[in-house]
Amino acid sequence: MLTGYEHVNVNRDLYIQVNDVHQLYVADCGNPKGVPVVFLHGGPGGHTGKACLQFFNPEKYRVILFDQRGCGKSQPFLSTEKNTPFDSVHDMEVIRQYFGFSSWVVFGGSYGSSLALTYAIIHPERVKHLVLRGIFLGRKVDVDWLYRGGAGYFYPEQYESFRSFVSEYEDPVVGYHEALIGDDEERRDEAYKRWAKWEDSLLTLFPKFPDPTTLSDEERSISLMENHYFYHKMFFESDNYLLEQADRYADIPMDIVQGRYDVICPPFGAHALAKACPKARLHLIEASCHSPYEPAMKDQLIRIMDNLGN
Protein backbone atom coordinates (compact mmCIF):
# COMPACT_ATOMS: atom_id res chain seq x y z
CA MET A 1 0.00 0.00 0.00
CA LEU A 2 1.25 3.46 -0.89
CA THR A 3 1.16 5.76 2.12
CA GLY A 4 1.39 9.17 0.49
CA TYR A 5 3.76 12.04 -0.16
CA GLU A 6 5.04 14.63 2.26
CA HIS A 7 5.06 18.26 1.20
CA VAL A 8 7.53 19.93 3.53
CA ASN A 9 6.60 23.50 2.68
CA VAL A 10 3.85 25.48 1.03
CA ASN A 11 5.39 27.67 -1.69
CA ARG A 12 3.13 30.49 -0.60
CA ASP A 13 -0.33 31.10 0.74
CA LEU A 14 -2.45 34.09 -0.12
CA TYR A 15 -5.93 35.53 -0.20
CA ILE A 16 -7.74 36.24 -3.46
CA GLN A 17 -10.76 38.55 -3.59
CA VAL A 18 -13.35 36.84 -5.80
CA ASN A 19 -16.23 39.30 -5.47
CA ASP A 20 -17.45 42.14 -3.27
CA VAL A 21 -18.12 39.76 -0.35
CA HIS A 22 -15.72 36.82 -0.39
CA GLN A 23 -11.96 36.53 -0.01
CA LEU A 24 -10.63 33.00 -0.48
CA TYR A 25 -7.64 31.38 1.16
CA VAL A 26 -5.38 29.77 -1.47
CA ALA A 27 -2.21 27.67 -1.03
CA ASP A 28 0.31 27.11 -3.84
CA CYS A 29 2.23 23.85 -3.26
CA GLY A 30 4.61 21.46 -4.99
CA ASN A 31 6.77 21.99 -8.05
CA PRO A 32 6.23 25.45 -9.62
CA LYS A 33 6.96 23.85 -13.01
CA GLY A 34 4.85 20.75 -12.37
CA VAL A 35 1.49 19.69 -13.81
CA PRO A 36 -1.15 21.99 -12.28
CA VAL A 37 -3.87 20.32 -10.23
CA VAL A 38 -6.64 21.92 -8.19
CA PHE A 39 -7.91 20.10 -5.08
CA LEU A 40 -11.63 20.54 -4.38
CA HIS A 41 -12.61 19.79 -0.80
CA GLY A 42 -15.92 18.29 0.15
CA GLY A 43 -18.83 19.23 2.33
CA PRO A 44 -19.81 21.71 1.16
CA GLY A 45 -18.27 23.42 4.14
CA GLY A 46 -15.03 21.47 4.50
CA HIS A 47 -11.56 22.94 4.21
CA THR A 48 -8.10 22.17 2.88
CA GLY A 49 -4.92 21.33 4.77
CA LYS A 50 -1.65 19.45 4.58
CA ALA A 51 -3.41 16.07 4.53
CA CYS A 52 -4.89 16.96 1.13
CA LEU A 53 -1.42 17.04 -0.42
CA GLN A 54 -0.40 13.42 0.21
CA PHE A 55 -1.88 12.17 -3.08
CA PHE A 56 0.47 14.29 -5.18
CA ASN A 57 4.18 13.79 -5.87
CA PRO A 58 5.66 17.23 -5.04
CA GLU A 59 8.27 16.83 -7.77
CA LYS A 60 5.65 16.26 -10.47
CA TYR A 61 2.68 18.39 -9.46
CA ARG A 62 1.92 21.99 -8.68
CA VAL A 63 -1.04 21.67 -6.32
CA ILE A 64 -3.48 24.50 -5.71
CA LEU A 65 -5.59 24.24 -2.57
CA PHE A 66 -8.36 26.68 -1.73
CA ASP A 67 -11.04 26.95 0.92
CA GLN A 68 -14.43 27.53 -0.67
CA ARG A 69 -16.67 30.46 0.24
CA GLY A 70 -17.63 30.69 3.89
CA CYS A 71 -15.37 27.95 5.21
CA GLY A 72 -11.84 27.13 6.33
CA LYS A 73 -9.63 30.21 6.33
CA SER A 74 -11.71 32.04 3.73
CA GLN A 75 -13.55 35.17 4.78
CA PRO A 76 -16.21 35.93 5.86
CA PHE A 77 -16.53 32.65 7.73
CA LEU A 78 -19.97 30.97 7.64
CA SER A 79 -21.29 33.36 4.99
CA THR A 80 -23.98 31.80 2.79
CA GLU A 81 -24.34 34.99 0.76
CA LYS A 82 -23.60 34.41 -2.93
CA ASN A 83 -22.61 30.85 -2.10
CA THR A 84 -23.56 28.21 -4.69
CA PRO A 85 -21.66 25.65 -6.80
CA PHE A 86 -21.75 28.12 -9.67
CA ASP A 87 -20.11 30.77 -7.50
CA SER A 88 -17.34 28.27 -6.75
CA VAL A 89 -16.92 27.60 -10.48
CA HIS A 90 -16.44 31.35 -10.91
CA ASP A 91 -13.86 31.29 -8.10
CA MET A 92 -11.96 28.43 -9.72
CA GLU A 93 -11.66 30.48 -12.89
CA VAL A 94 -10.42 33.50 -10.94
CA ILE A 95 -7.77 31.29 -9.30
CA ARG A 96 -6.79 29.55 -12.55
CA GLN A 97 -6.36 32.89 -14.31
CA TYR A 98 -4.42 34.31 -11.36
CA PHE A 99 -1.81 31.55 -11.75
CA GLY A 100 -1.88 31.67 -15.54
CA PHE A 101 -2.81 28.02 -16.16
CA SER A 102 -4.44 27.25 -19.51
CA SER A 103 -5.89 24.06 -18.01
CA TRP A 104 -5.42 21.84 -14.98
CA VAL A 105 -6.20 18.46 -13.47
CA VAL A 106 -9.34 18.71 -11.32
CA PHE A 107 -9.30 16.44 -8.23
CA GLY A 108 -12.39 16.31 -6.01
CA GLY A 109 -14.18 13.98 -3.63
CA SER A 110 -17.70 13.80 -2.22
CA TYR A 111 -19.22 17.27 -2.78
CA GLY A 112 -15.86 18.07 -4.39
CA SER A 113 -16.85 15.62 -7.15
CA SER A 114 -20.11 17.56 -7.65
CA LEU A 115 -18.18 20.81 -7.94
CA ALA A 116 -15.65 19.23 -10.32
CA LEU A 117 -18.44 18.06 -12.63
CA THR A 118 -20.17 21.45 -12.48
CA TYR A 119 -16.89 23.10 -13.45
CA ALA A 120 -16.41 20.59 -16.29
CA ILE A 121 -19.90 21.35 -17.61
CA ILE A 122 -19.17 25.07 -17.80
CA HIS A 123 -15.46 25.01 -18.67
CA PRO A 124 -14.64 21.63 -20.25
CA GLU A 125 -11.76 23.13 -22.21
CA ARG A 126 -9.98 23.96 -18.94
CA VAL A 127 -9.92 20.39 -17.62
CA LYS A 128 -6.97 18.10 -18.43
CA HIS A 129 -8.29 15.18 -16.40
CA LEU A 130 -10.97 14.55 -13.78
CA VAL A 131 -10.05 12.49 -10.71
CA LEU A 132 -13.23 11.99 -8.69
CA ARG A 133 -13.80 10.11 -5.44
CA GLY A 134 -16.96 9.20 -3.52
CA ILE A 135 -19.39 10.46 -6.13
CA PHE A 136 -22.17 12.79 -5.00
CA LEU A 137 -24.52 13.87 -7.80
CA GLY A 138 -26.69 16.15 -5.68
CA ARG A 139 -29.99 14.53 -6.67
CA LYS A 140 -32.98 14.16 -4.39
CA VAL A 141 -32.26 10.44 -4.13
CA ASP A 142 -28.72 11.19 -2.89
CA VAL A 143 -29.90 13.62 -0.21
CA ASP A 144 -32.81 11.35 0.74
CA TRP A 145 -30.40 8.46 1.25
CA LEU A 146 -28.21 10.37 3.67
CA TYR A 147 -30.73 12.44 5.63
CA ARG A 148 -34.17 10.93 5.14
CA GLY A 149 -33.65 7.31 6.05
CA GLY A 150 -31.36 5.17 3.87
CA ALA A 151 -28.06 5.50 5.70
CA GLY A 152 -29.94 5.32 8.98
CA TYR A 153 -30.60 1.62 8.41
CA PHE A 154 -26.86 1.03 8.85
CA TYR A 155 -26.39 3.35 11.84
CA PRO A 156 -29.78 3.43 13.59
CA GLU A 157 -28.54 4.77 16.94
CA GLN A 158 -26.71 7.69 15.35
CA TYR A 159 -29.57 8.42 12.96
CA GLU A 160 -32.03 8.43 15.84
CA SER A 161 -29.97 11.15 17.54
CA PHE A 162 -29.86 13.15 14.30
CA ARG A 163 -33.57 12.73 13.55
CA SER A 164 -34.96 13.20 17.06
CA PHE A 165 -33.66 16.78 17.22
CA VAL A 166 -36.22 17.80 14.57
CA SER A 167 -38.80 15.07 15.12
CA GLU A 168 -41.66 17.55 14.74
CA TYR A 169 -40.67 18.11 11.10
CA GLU A 170 -41.60 15.66 8.36
CA ASP A 171 -38.41 16.61 6.50
CA PRO A 172 -35.26 16.78 8.65
CA VAL A 173 -33.48 18.99 6.10
CA VAL A 174 -36.19 21.62 6.56
CA GLY A 175 -36.13 21.22 10.34
CA TYR A 176 -32.38 21.73 10.55
CA HIS A 177 -32.59 24.68 8.17
CA GLU A 178 -35.00 26.43 10.53
CA ALA A 179 -32.70 25.75 13.50
CA LEU A 180 -29.50 26.79 11.71
CA ILE A 181 -30.84 30.14 10.51
CA GLY A 182 -32.85 30.82 13.67
CA ASP A 183 -32.12 33.29 16.47
CA ASP A 184 -31.91 30.71 19.27
CA GLU A 185 -28.12 30.36 19.69
CA GLU A 186 -28.30 27.32 21.96
CA ARG A 187 -30.57 25.45 19.55
CA ARG A 188 -28.40 26.52 16.61
CA ASP A 189 -25.27 25.12 18.26
CA GLU A 190 -27.04 21.86 18.99
CA ALA A 191 -28.12 21.68 15.33
CA TYR A 192 -24.51 22.17 14.25
CA LYS A 193 -23.46 19.28 16.48
CA ARG A 194 -26.19 16.83 15.51
CA TRP A 195 -25.88 17.42 11.76
CA ALA A 196 -22.08 17.22 11.63
CA LYS A 197 -21.70 14.28 13.99
CA TRP A 198 -24.25 12.22 12.07
CA GLU A 199 -22.10 12.46 8.95
CA ASP A 200 -18.83 12.08 10.90
CA SER A 201 -20.10 8.71 12.15
CA LEU A 202 -20.27 7.35 8.59
CA LEU A 203 -16.85 8.30 7.20
CA THR A 204 -14.86 5.09 7.64
CA LEU A 205 -15.38 1.36 7.26
CA PHE A 206 -14.68 0.89 10.97
CA PRO A 207 -16.50 3.89 12.44
CA LYS A 208 -14.98 6.30 14.92
CA PHE A 209 -17.91 7.94 16.62
CA PRO A 210 -17.24 11.60 17.45
CA ASP A 211 -17.63 13.20 20.86
CA PRO A 212 -21.24 14.47 20.91
CA THR A 213 -20.44 17.32 23.31
CA THR A 214 -17.78 19.21 21.34
CA LEU A 215 -18.27 21.69 18.49
CA SER A 216 -15.51 22.75 16.10
CA ASP A 217 -15.48 25.51 13.51
CA GLU A 218 -15.38 22.91 10.74
CA GLU A 219 -18.48 21.24 12.17
CA ARG A 220 -20.23 24.61 12.10
CA SER A 221 -19.31 25.24 8.47
CA ILE A 222 -20.06 21.67 7.34
CA SER A 223 -23.50 21.76 8.94
CA LEU A 224 -24.46 25.21 7.73
CA MET A 225 -23.17 24.87 4.16
CA GLU A 226 -24.45 21.35 3.57
CA ASN A 227 -27.88 22.29 4.80
CA HIS A 228 -27.83 25.54 2.80
CA TYR A 229 -27.03 23.65 -0.41
CA PHE A 230 -29.35 20.70 0.17
CA TYR A 231 -32.27 22.85 1.32
CA HIS A 232 -31.91 24.77 -1.96
CA LYS A 233 -31.53 21.55 -4.01
CA MET A 234 -27.91 22.32 -4.85
CA PHE A 235 -29.05 25.40 -6.79
CA PHE A 236 -29.23 23.18 -9.89
CA GLU A 237 -31.82 23.87 -12.58
CA SER A 238 -33.02 20.24 -12.48
CA ASP A 239 -32.73 17.31 -10.12
CA ASN A 240 -30.44 15.30 -12.40
CA TYR A 241 -28.47 18.29 -13.69
CA LEU A 242 -24.99 16.77 -13.48
CA LEU A 243 -25.88 13.67 -15.49
CA GLU A 244 -28.16 15.49 -17.92
CA GLN A 245 -25.15 17.59 -18.91
CA ALA A 246 -22.78 14.62 -19.21
CA ASP A 247 -22.19 15.22 -22.91
CA ARG A 248 -20.29 18.36 -21.87
CA TYR A 249 -17.61 16.36 -20.04
CA ALA A 250 -17.93 12.74 -21.23
CA ASP A 251 -14.83 12.99 -23.42
CA ILE A 252 -12.60 14.41 -20.68
CA PRO A 253 -10.23 11.71 -19.33
CA MET A 254 -11.73 10.61 -16.02
CA ASP A 255 -10.94 8.29 -13.12
CA ILE A 256 -13.73 7.52 -10.64
CA VAL A 257 -12.67 6.04 -7.29
CA GLN A 258 -15.50 4.69 -5.15
CA GLY A 259 -15.62 2.82 -1.86
CA ARG A 260 -17.81 -0.27 -2.11
CA TYR A 261 -19.16 0.32 1.41
CA ASP A 262 -19.52 4.09 1.24
CA VAL A 263 -22.61 4.85 3.33
CA ILE A 264 -22.49 8.62 2.69
CA CYS A 265 -22.25 8.44 -1.12
CA PRO A 266 -23.24 4.87 -2.09
CA PRO A 267 -21.80 3.32 -5.27
CA PHE A 268 -24.97 3.83 -7.31
CA GLY A 269 -23.85 7.42 -7.99
CA ALA A 270 -20.44 6.34 -9.28
CA HIS A 271 -22.09 3.60 -11.35
CA ALA A 272 -24.50 6.11 -12.94
CA LEU A 273 -21.65 8.51 -13.73
CA ALA A 274 -19.54 5.75 -15.29
CA LYS A 275 -22.48 4.68 -17.48
CA ALA A 276 -22.88 8.29 -18.66
CA CYS A 277 -19.14 8.49 -19.45
CA PRO A 278 -18.13 5.25 -21.19
CA LYS A 279 -14.50 6.36 -21.47
CA ALA A 280 -14.18 6.86 -17.71
CA ARG A 281 -12.34 4.33 -15.57
CA LEU A 282 -14.31 3.20 -12.52
CA HIS A 283 -12.25 1.87 -9.61
CA LEU A 284 -14.44 0.17 -6.99
CA ILE A 285 -12.44 -0.19 -3.77
CA GLU A 286 -13.77 -3.19 -1.90
CA ALA A 287 -12.39 -2.56 1.59
CA SER A 288 -13.28 1.12 1.84
CA CYS A 289 -16.03 3.48 2.87
CA HIS A 290 -16.08 7.26 2.17
CA SER A 291 -12.86 8.71 3.55
CA PRO A 292 -10.02 9.23 1.04
CA TYR A 293 -7.56 8.48 3.84
CA GLU A 294 -8.53 4.83 4.32
CA PRO A 295 -5.55 2.72 3.19
CA ALA A 296 -6.97 1.11 0.04
CA MET A 297 -8.67 4.32 -1.09
CA LYS A 298 -5.54 6.40 -0.57
CA ASP A 299 -3.42 3.80 -2.35
CA GLN A 300 -5.63 3.89 -5.46
CA LEU A 301 -5.74 7.69 -5.60
CA ILE A 302 -1.96 7.92 -5.31
CA ARG A 303 -1.48 5.31 -8.06
CA ILE A 304 -3.77 7.25 -10.39
CA MET A 305 -1.90 10.49 -9.77
CA ASP A 306 1.48 8.78 -10.14
CA ASN A 307 0.40 7.42 -13.53
CA LEU A 308 -0.87 10.83 -14.66
CA GLY A 309 2.37 12.42 -13.53
CA ASN A 310 4.31 10.07 -15.78
Taking a C-beta distance cutoff of 8 angstroms, is the pair 41, 68 a contact? yes
Q: Is 177 a catalytic residue?
A: no
Taking a C-beta distance cutoff of 8 angstroms, is the pair 78, 224 a contact? yes
Which of the 8 DSSP states describes residue 248? Answer: G
* Three-state secondary structure readout of 32-101: CCCEEEEEECCCCCCCCCHHHHHHCCCCCEEEEEECCCCCCCCECCCCCCCCCHHHHHHHHHHHHHHHCC
Catalytic residue among 110, 113, 201, 291: 110
- List beta partners, residue 40: 108
Checking DSSP bridges between strand 254-259 and strand 35-40, what pairing results, if any?
A: unpaired
Catalytic residue among 28, 67, 91, 262: 262
- For residues 223 and 232, what is the distance between their CA atoms, to the nearest angstrom? 14
Instruction: Annotate 40-53 with b (16+ C-beta within 10 A) or e (fewer).
Output: bbbbbbbbbeeebb
Q: Is 7 a catalytic residue?
A: no
- For residues 296 and 1, what is the distance between their CA atoms, to the nearest angstrom? 7
Q: Is 262 a catalytic residue?
A: yes
Catalytic machinery residues: 110, 262, 290
